[in-house]
Amino acid sequence: MTDYFDEAAVVWDEDPDRIEMARAIASAMIRELRPKGNEIALDYGAGTGLISLELRGHVKRIVAADSSVGMLNILRSKIAHEKIRSIEPIEWQIGRPAAGLPSFDIIVSSMTFHHIRDTEAAARALCLSIGKTPRISALSRVDDANALRSVVS
């Protein structure tokens, strides 16, 4: 799956519907999560950073995690071009050691969970990396929402 995203990364942001959808999702996440501006957020499955870039003015720091080097390279170019200091792209996925990752106040994930075989285990792993006042917003597909709901409730 990563090979697909590595190759697709070059044209990923050229789809206006994808950009519009990411903006709408990020706006809904911001509205629901109500960040105060001092939080550390994880954008899991960050891709080219469409959600991270929308979220950046609302939190202190974002760790933008993805397993696709190609996607992260596009995000790194955006960060360099705009001289952004609050987004840190990292190659990471659930199941790999999380050493060095901070405790997160907010976790967001958009259109990612349907690519994960065991969404319930993934949701549990994400819940373990969150701080004292957890806020999670994940949007993908209905089956993903059900897995998250069963873990978070």
DSSP state letters, 92-115: --BTB--TTPPPEEEEEEES-GGG
**pTM, 2 dp:** 0.81
Residue from 100, 103, 92, 99 nearest 127 by CA: 103
Report the pLDDT value the prediction gives residue 90, as an integer from 0 to 100. Answer: 93
Residue 66 has pLDDT above 90, yes or no: yes
What per-residue confidence (pLDDT) applies to 25? Answer: 87
Cα distances (Å, whole numbers) of residue 105 to 28, 89, 98, 138: 17, 17, 16, 14
pLDDT exceeds cutoff 80 at 22 = yes
3-state secondary structure of 149: helix
DSSP for residue 58: G
pLDDT value for 148? 42
pLDDT of residue 146: 46
pLDDT in tens, 127-150: 665 666 666 666 555 444 444 444
Fold of 2-152: Rossmann fold (3.40.50)
Closest of 97, 80, 86 to residue 64, by C-alpha: 86
**Is residue 30 very low, low, confident or very high in pLDDT (cuts 50, 70, 90)?**
very high
pLDDT digits (tens, 9 = 90+) for 67-120: 899 999 999 999 999 999 999 999 987 777 666 778 888 888 887 665 566 666
